[in-house]
Amino acid sequence: MADRGLIGWEYQCYSFPVEHGKVREFAVAVKDDDPVLHDVAAARAAGYADLPAPPTFSAVTAHWAPPGGLDALGLDLRRVLAGEAEWEYLEDIVAGDVLTVRSRVADVVGKTGSRGAMTLVTTEHTFTDQHDRTVLRLRTTVIELGEH
Amino acid sequence: MTQAHTSAPAVPALPPAPVRRVGPLTRTDFVRYAGAGGDFNPMHHDDDFARAAGYPSVFGHGLLTAGILSGYAAAWLGRRNLRRFGVRYVGQVWPGDTLVLAGEPVRATAGADGRTEVEVSLTVHSEADGREPRLVLRGQATATLPGEERTA
């Protein structure tokens, strides 16, 4: 069960490479057939240095985040639903980049909605590239159904 | 980025996005997304687990629907123009559902250097045989459209 004591809690920082094959695999999975995601020549013709990361590519961090991160929130997966997500794009992210992710719990709110009591946990993620530029910000909210 | 310019005639109108249908989505689509994204929550591939949690079957990752919608928004607004993309998950996508993607401009504002800042709203409805379409996801995006350099 998530509680307000988690606010400000920081996940262990980690880095991951943006891989060519992963960009293509992700694009196929989200059914995006834009050639810039599949063909380096098309990407370069569009002004990218390499295949650009699709807009929600940050999801692949699930492959890289240190184990145990979510466990620290104490969430019960059977009662957790995705709530909201917002991406802010600051710079191009392309295959070959190496991103570092810093995440912290921004808010934990208990409320009662149409599904009864629920807890909303909001996390802020900041992605920096190998040049220390902040390239992406992501804010996600998950909903845990049940008593606060 | 001031509201004062909203009605300026220099701001070109953005036509609504053409509606796009994606699907029907299958369990294989969910599993492919699980592998691509790395989210192996059994809720999305294990029917026994989903039923034990009170659902009729597995359902798609919210991020799968969001990812499909983001590609639609990128194609409409221009991938390089996208500044923000946000989603709110409203309902589940079940195996067999077809997603219906739509987008409407909300606001256009004159930005710097002849660029136009646009804000759009996006929706994903889920339709299946014998069922009314259901709203499953709401989205919004902002984009910076380049000025008409060639005529400047």
The whole-number pLDDT of residue B149 equals: 47
pLDDT average, residue stretch B119-125: 97
Chain B residues near residue A64 by CB distance under 8 angstroms: 38
pLDDT confidence band for B148 (50 / 70 / 90)? low
Min Cα distance A130 → chain B (Å) is 21
Q: Is domain B11-151 in CATH 3.10.129.10, yes or no?
A: yes
B95-112 tens-digit pLDDT: 999 999 999 999 999 887
Pick from A26, A52, A84: CB nearest B86: A84
pLDDT of residue A75: 75
Instruction: Please indicate whether residue A80 or residue B126 has the higher confidence score (pLDDT).
Output: B126
Q: Does B120 touch chain A (CB under 8 A)?
A: no
Could you tell me the pTM of the whole model?
Answer: 0.90
- Contact list in A for residue B82 (CB cut-off 8 A) is 55, 89
pLDDT 10s digits, A123-147: 999 999 999 999 999 999 999 888 6
Write down the pLDDT at residue A1.
57
Average pLDDT per 10 consecutive residues for chain A, totaling 148 residues: 81 94 98 97 97 96 75 73 93 98 94 86 96 97 82
Residue B10 neighbours by CB distance under 10 Å: 10
Between B106 and B114, residue with greater pLDDT: B106
As a whole number, mean pLDDT of residues B46-66 equals 96
User: d(Cα B65, Cα B90) in Å, to the nearest integer?
Assistant: 11
Percent of all residues in chain B with a pLDDT value above 90, rounded to a whole number: 77
The confidence score (pLDDT) of residue B2 equals: 47
Give the pair of three-digit tokens for residue A29. Answer: 């999975």
> Cβ of B67 and A32 within 8 Å?
yes
Quickly name the fold that domain A4-18+58-145 has: Thiol Ester Dehydrase; Chain A (3.10.129)
Domain extent listing, chain A: 4-18+58-145
What's the confidence (pLDDT) of residue B150? 40
Mean pLDDT of B122-151: 87
pLDDT attached to residue B66: 98
Contact B81, B120 (CB under 8 A): no
Which chain A residues contact residue B33 at CB under 8 A? 29-30
Three-class DSSP category at B11? coil
Residue A97 has what pLDDT?
98
Distance from B13 to chain A by nearest Cα, in Å? 23
pLDDT of residue A146: 83
pLDDT for position A50:
98
**Residue-wise pLDDT tens digits, B2-20:** 444 444 445 667 889 999 9
What pLDDT score does A148 carry? 54
- Write the CA distances from A24 to A76, A140, B70, B85, integer angstroms: 32, 24, 15, 21
How far apart, in whole angstroms, are the C-alpha atoms of residue B90 and residue B137?
A: 5
Domain residue extents for chain B: 11-151
User: For residue A77, is it left (φ>0), alpha (ψ between -120 and 50) or beta?
Assistant: alpha
Residue keyed to tokens 């807890």: A119
Pairwise CB contact (< 8 Å): A29 & B67: yes
Residue B151: predicted pLDDT: 42
Chain A: closest CA distance from residue B93 (Å): 12
